[in-house]
Amino acid sequence: MRRFILPLLPLAAGLACAGALQAGLWADPIVHARADVGTLLALVGLLASLLWAAGEGLWALAGRREREALARAQEAQAEAHRRFLRRLDHELKNPLTAIRAGLANVPAAAGDPVLTSVRGQVDRLARLTADLRKLAELEVQPLEEEKVDLAELLAELADVAADRPDSAARTLRISLPQAPWPLPHVVGDRDLLFLALHNLLDNALKYSRPGDTVEIRAFEDGATVAVEVADTGPGIADEDLAHLGEELYRGRAPSGIDGSGLGLALVRAIVGRHRGSVTIRSRLGRGTAVTLRLPVAR
Amino acid sequence: MDDLREPCRILLVDDDQAITGHLTPFLERAGFAVTVAGDGETALRRAEETRPDLIVLDVLMPRLDGREALRRLRRSGDWTPVILLTQVGAPAERALALDEGADDYLNKPFEPSELLARIRAVLRRSRAGAPSLAGARRLSCGPLALDRQSRRVTLDGREVALTAKAVAVLEYLMLHPDEVLSRERLLDAVWGWDYPAATRAVDSRIAELRRLLDDDAEAPQFIETLVGQGYRFVGRVRAEA
């Protein structure tokens, strides 16, 4: 709006001066001169207005072009990335299928430790390819859009976690607001949101130690719902924190913990599709809190 | 398969020789006679020459891909049961696989034992003389009808407001009547992913279906629960063109 009003100011000023002259507010004895000067002022005002408007227009156009070019470059990069993920997935799948078929032909006593170990590693690679595929699909697949009751979803998540053997040695707490009103709904794909939160809770339980506390809490600030999964685990070093959520990045601190390195990348992709955000706070030796923010359903 | 006098013949189609090389002896040990083809064109020729009982067909192949080969096969009126080995796992792709007349599909990298289970299930259905449901536009069971093209479900002629996921679950169940389907398999087929806690997502869609189709879990007309195993569609499914 401001962009359209500002360029009109010189014209308005010119017209106002011309009007003032005509009305005889200035005690000029020569009537013709007064009219000429008035017209001149109005014309100068008009010209200035036109120049201003043209300048604004050109400026906006240049800005839009730049933004469009940037968006196109980003989209092309994202598409190239998806293509890479799909190819990687494809190139891994066939040899894995062949290895599994080959293993099925190996005559071996049941429970042979070597065979069991090899099978376990093949399963691990298979999970990695499944996650890669999921990640590539996530960015393009149509989302189911329904109202999701996050409070109910989080209660279910806590139930699932309570069934895990590693949760027994940890204190698991869930706190959801009741006053002044319960948590509002969000719009999205319930199963994907569950997957994202499950990944966060899974990380919190996996990387924390017996005796640690894991908390799930949620609150709203009118426009967004924030869901936080926090733990008193080992925390993440600053230099790792910057790379967290990159595909296949795994920090150095945790060792011997099973994972594909795609869990947080999936969380980011899911939350991104829901127009939300992910933030991580962590202190080495103290713990980690991951916060998801999602728009409240209107 | 013990009651069969001569072994069932399977045409195995994949361009990756490492896969056919390992799968062939595996399937032969399970009692099948296996023929191999390395691309879609060869597959169509072999299918005509050898008249197999079932075709295992990979999707991504040189010359003629599995999808096109399947389309040509069906267009020529050949309804030999086909299990499609999907490569790109997108859900849309899976729905398409059904749409084009595959009797089942399996994501790579699969466990050979899973392929064997699928082969046996599909053969059991076709041996029992059951009409192939693969190409049906509409599936019906008593008062229940599912239009696969428009994704609409009706009960006694009245439309039932189901979520897209619930329709997909129902479709998969109806396409595999009398087969015990584990939660993991339903997840893989309908959601396209599988992780330990996700099985609840299946349960909640089944609950939605039962509620809206008025199906009693204790005495089911449509969907039966097999504790610790999964679900089974118990009604008699008919294919309509």
Which pLDDT tens digit goes with each residue over B33-42? 999 999 999 9
Q: Is the peptide bond before A180 cis (omega within 30 degrees of 0)?
A: yes
Nearest to A93 among B109, B111, B201 (CB): B109
CB contact under 8 A, A101 and B89: no
Q: Which of A100, A115, A189 to mutate to test the interface with B (most CBs of B within 10 A)?
A: A100
Out of B88, B113, B193, the one facing A104 most closely (by C-beta) is B113
Q: Which residue from A152, A155, A167, A139 is spatially nearest to A74, judged by alpha carbons?
A: A139
Look at residue A207 and give its three-state secondary structure: helix
Q: Buried b vs exposed e over A229-249: b needs ≥16 C-beta within 10 Å? A: bbbbbbbbeeebbeebbebee
Closest CA to A274 of A153, A174, A172, A179: A153
Phi, psi of A210 (to 5 degrees): -55, 140
Q: What is the DSSP letter of A141?
A: S
What percentage of residues in chain B have a pLDDT greater than 70? 90
Answer whether A134 touches B (CB < 8 Å).
Answer: yes
Instruction: Examine the pLDDT at A255 and tell me if it is beyond 60.
Output: no
Q: How confident is the model at residue A25 (pLDDT cuts 50, 70, 90)?
A: low
Collect all residues of chain B within an 8 Å Cβ-Cβ radius of residue A193: none
Residue B1: pLDDT band (50, 70, 90) is very low
Question: Are A90 and B191 in contact (CB < 8 Å)?
Answer: no
Asked if pLDDT for residue A265 goes beyond 80, the answer is: yes
Using the predicted structure, report yes or no on whether residue A1 has a pLDDT greater than 80. no
In the predicted model, is pLDDT for residue A132 greater than 90? no
> Model confidence over B64-101: pLDDT tens digits?
889 899 989 988 988 899 998 875 455 555 555 556 78
| ipTM score | 0.84
Nearest to A133 among B25, B89, B200 (CB): B89
Q: A41-86: per-residue pLDDT in tens?
A: 888 888 888 998 888 888 888 889 999 999 899 888 888 887 888 7
Cβ-defined contact of A198 to B195 (cutoff 8 Å): yes
What pLDDT, on the 0 to 100 scale, is given for residue A88?
Answer: 82
Q: Where in chain A is the domain with CATH 3.30.565.10?
A: 144-295
CATH of domain A144-295: 3.30.565.10
Q: In what order do the strands lie in the sheet with A213-220?
A: A171-175, A213-220, A224-231, A287-295, A277-283
Q: Are A297 and A187 in contact (CB under 8 A)?
A: yes
Q: What is the pLDDT of residues A77-112, one digit of tens each?
A: 888 887 888 788 778 889 999 999 999 998 876 678
- Kindly give, in sequence order, each residue whose CB lies less than 8 Å from that of residue B136, ignoring residues fewer than 6 positions away: B148, B239, B240, B241
